[in-house]
Amino acid sequence: MINLGLLLTNQYRLLSVAAILDVFETVNALYFDEGQDAPFQITLFYDETAQNSGTTAFFPGYQPLKISGADTQDLILVPSFPNENIAAAIHENHTAILWLRQQYNAGAGLASFCTGAFLLAATGLLNGRIATTHVDACKAFTSTFPEVKLEAEKTVTQDGRLYTSGGATSSFHLMLHLIQLHCGKEVAVRIAKLFAIDMDRQRQSYFSTFHISRNHSDDLVAMAQQKIETAYHNTGTIEEMIKDIPASRRNIVRRFKQVTGITPIEYLQQTRIEAAKKLLEQTVEQMTEVIYKSGYNDPKAFRKVFRKTVGMTPSEYREKFYVG
């Protein structure tokens, strides 16, 4: 039997915990119905030193245990948590982070779901290793943990005994991966069918949204952002768009990247692709019109950039996300 620990972090997302319990309880039920021993011994753990800890939670059939007296687990799952203040979440889970490191050093595998990757990375165990997280939290993740090899487009990663998943429904793909490792592919396929999970999804990049950040005090960069956002649909170059800004090209590029994390060219490209996505989602415009209104005049170049950025072709994106 596999000792499966579920860490009730401070400020965990209830939906994340519920989904994890539902899936692994279902695996156990499949075995029970066939007269076999359940493969997972599921135990909930909480940090008794944290405020709003798991002691206040009620999960039928479970009595959460304190991490201070926990035995070594075979596998520990870290659910997601709200990402409004990630730094605070890391601080509030400091003791649990130390416990995760101790469990790993004792032989446990660690798996994080969505933004739970921030807690896993805070252990230092992911340094030099691959990981993923919610696609819209990737910028904050790389800023906080630059030594981690973030693969933002992946739905699931495994590096030795460390596992991570992308956002929201990607959690189910990580659970399937873990189930296949411990129970075999046949059981994983049965669970995928029961929960209607598309097993073939390997990327999450098409779920991302380009967020335009204005949370800075650099007036020149703000001016460049404004010019790009109002003129992206023109087919001119980035040099033409920012030519009136009172700064050298080298200076504005340096300051722009320092403030936003990307270059003006990348900012223009992201803005154009986001505009194209909205046109594909909300209109029935011909593809030539979508390309032109997004600021491109070369269909081949547009499709190449779109596929690289989004992870699928423009036609595939429209088919998946068109809302009329």
- pLDDT of amino acid 203: 58
- pLDDT of amino acid 66: 93
pLDDT at 52 over 60: no
CB-based contact 119:91 (threshold 8 Å): no
- pLDDT of amino acid 205: 54
| Of 9-13, 23-27, 80-84, 132-136, highest mean pLDDT | 23-27
Instruction: Show the DSSP H helices in the chain as ranges.
Output: 14-33, 86-92, 94-105, 117-122, 138-144, 170-183, 185-194, 219-231, 238-241, 249-260, 264-282, 287-293, 299-310, 314-321
- pLDDT of amino acid 208: 57
Percent of the chain beyond pLDDT 90? 53
pLDDT (average), residues 55-60: 67
3-state secondary structure of 216: coil
- Superfamily the domain 219-321 falls into: Homeodomain-like (1.10.10.60)
Q: pLDDT (tens digit, 9 = 90+) per residue, 200-241?
A: 655 555 445 676 667 788 888 999 998 898 889 887 788 888
Query: What is the Cα–Cα distance from 74 to 300, expressed in whole angstroms?
Result: 50
Q: pLDDT (tens digit, 9 = 90+) per residue, 273-300?
A: 999 989 998 899 999 999 999 999 999 9
Q: What is the pLDDT confidence band of residue 54, given thresholds at 50, 70 and 90?
A: very low
Residue ranges per structural domain of the chain: 2-207, 219-321
- pLDDT of amino acid 236: 77
pTM over 0.85: no
List, in order, residues 6 or more apart from 115 with CB less than 8 Å away: 80, 81, 82, 83, 86, 89, 133, 134, 137, 167
Question: At the top level of CATH, which class does the domain 2-207 belong to?
Answer: alpha beta
